[in-house]
Chain A
């Protein structure tokens, strides 16, 4: 009987052959924290250990509110800088032009690697599965414990296999696929499971598209989500890998799955997640004409250069009808977008371009909504109050749908503008 991806990676890390349901204790290779490294450092101090287990295995990336919008945020960042100095942590991405959204940096900078067990004190840590890592989000106490001991327990998860075939039609993208899957199996459809994406359509996808899929694994309850570590992944990590401890591991053909789903990209159409849950799927045709007050193109889900190009293709030579906030996922994406002339397209269209970071995604700054307002967003969550005001509405959609909607000031079908 073959093994799933999760069984192989956790088994390798635990040094034994393991199966779903078993509990293992493993050493995570990289531990990522963002602005919450400050409260975690306080919890760490309570344990009574003076030094973290391996300073080179900790990665800190400031992104949640950068540059600091309030004195409390500033103090939080200050505490992190002091801890970085005290512990000799070299992988620290401060508020500089080397940084960006934590999950983007983890992938761009060669931390996310095939076959590594990785944890992050952020639920979207599952993004690194796009590069073949077993990565998952944990809480603050657990991260403090991992810093002190270098160990974490996992129950080896059952796995959900999603086979994807076919080709996207015009105006449809990876975001539409993942919103459709979550709409089908719901917010708890993959609870506690490892989600594996298989099939020729996944192999045809770019790393950016795979990141969009894996990023939203948590929105169906998954422990982790992963794509095959194929040649595209190996070519991507080759020049940037931060360690040679990685290994391209993948599920056996005869692995046992709790569930198998099949999708054909040709069946998909542009869609949204309606307020206030990510599984509240609707094709754009159903909500077309809904008035919006803001459009947000950003976040760890959809702010890579490929996403900005898709949005720019829709906006090119036109003007937006509502305030439109563009926040590239990292400063290298920012620079690339500038080089390619995408900023001219956005600025000519009337968009506002923010500095890389999480921006308004979780209600910290740079685009908070007023009561009664509606935003269409490329981010990953539309929960009540998510963007700072519980009387506002958020629709989630692809970069193309967000751009098309920005042009009209109402939810619009990108196929009509492309």
Chain B
């Protein structure tokens, strides 16, 4: 699988409150509607102008803070292809895998990329192609590969229960 998209770039420690504000957590319940609030308290430009297929690039500890899964859902429903970061906070990491949103860790690729550039993630080769060069990223651990292949946690659980 390959994904190519335009970069939206952010810094370190982007928290789930700025990705999906707490005031919406019980007033916006339709996943399709969540997309329009994505990154509202971080970057209004993104909230207004992000296009399906775009790629988010973040620093270390992306998604720290609350466990709210809407911080993954809103990005997925916005049609964002993937997130590349220097690292992910642990609950966000699990939520992204569970929702089937591709996430990739590569500090080199993050440093090489700038806002508006085009980036390609080649999941088969575990490579990120940027204007400044190609960088490899570690493949997912074996125990989460099955989760990803099944399309997220809920399909994975259904399969494991024979449903």
Contact = CB atoms under 8 A, between A and B. Distances in A.
Interface of A: 23, 35-36, 39, 43, 46-49, 64-65, 70, 72-73, 76, 121-123, 137-142, 144-145, 148-149, 153, 186-188, 191-192, 218, 221, 223, 277, 279, 362-364, 368, 381, 383-386, 388, 390
A223 B98 CA distance: 17
A188 B13 contact: yes
Contact of A123 (B29, B66, B143, B158): B66
Nearest to A152: B94
Contacts of A139: 67-69, 72, 91, 94-95, 98
Interface in B8-45: 12-13, 15, 17-18, 21-23, 25-27, 29, 40-42
Contact of A390 (B15, B41, B90, B94): B41
B161 A383 contact: no
A165 to B, nearest CB: 29
A364 B27 CA distance: 10
Nearest to B88: A191
B38 to A, nearest CB: 14
A149 B161 contact: yes
Interface SS of chain A: loop
B163 interface: yes
A362 B87 contact: no
B87 to A, nearest CB: 7
B154 A141 contact: yes
A141 B95 contact: yes
A43 to B, nearest CB: 6
B61 interface: yes
A52 B72 CA distance: 25
Those 4 A-B pairs whose CB atoms lie nearest each other, nearest first: A362-B22, A188-B61, A385-B41, A139-B95
A49 B154 contact: no
B22 A386 contact: yes
B114 interface: no
27 contacts: A23-B141, A35-B26, A39-B29, A48-B161, A64-B25, A64-B26, A70-B27, A123-B67, A137-B91, A139-B68, A140-B69, A142-B94, A142-B98, A145-B153, A145-B157, A148-B157, A186-B13, A187-B64, A188-B13, A191-B61, A363-B21, A383-B17, A383-B65, A384-B18, A385-B18, A386-B22, A388-B23
A141 B40 CA distance: 23
Contacts of B91: 123, 137-139
A51 to B, nearest CB: 12
B105 to A, nearest CB: 12
Residue of B40, B61, B90, B154 with most chain A CB atoms under a 10 A cut-off: B90
Contacts of B77: none
Nearest to A279: B13
Residue of A35, A48, A49, A139 with most chain B CB atoms under a 10 A cut-off: A139
Contacts of B158: 47-48
B143 A46 contact: no
Given A141-B152, A383-B18, A277 B95 contact: no
A384 B41 contact: yes
B108 interface: no
A191 B90 CA distance: 7
A141 B61 contact: no
Nearest to B22: A362
A152 B17 CA distance: 26
Residue of A49, A138, A153, A383 with most chain B CB atoms under a 10 A cut-off: A383
Interface in B141-161: 141, 143, 152-154, 157-158, 160-161
Given A76-B29, A142-B94, 15 more contacts: A47-B161, A64-B26, A72-B26, A73-B26, A121-B67, A123-B67, A141-B98, A149-B157, A149-B160, A187-B13, A362-B22, A362-B25, A364-B26, A385-B41, A386-B17
Nearest to A137: B67
A48 B90 contact: no
B99 interface: yes
Contacts of A388: 21-23
A49 B79 CA distance: 30
Given A362-B22, A363-B22, A385-B21, A141 B69 contact: yes
A76 B26 contact: yes
Contacts of B160: 149
A43 B153 CA distance: 11
B3 interface: no
B151 to A, nearest CB: 12
B22 A23 contact: no
Interface string B45-62: 000000000000000110
Nearest to A125: B67
B130 to A, nearest CB: 24
B107 interface: no
Contacts of B152: 141
Contacts of A149: 157, 160-161
Residue of B72, B141, B154 with most chain A CB atoms under a 10 A cut-off: B154
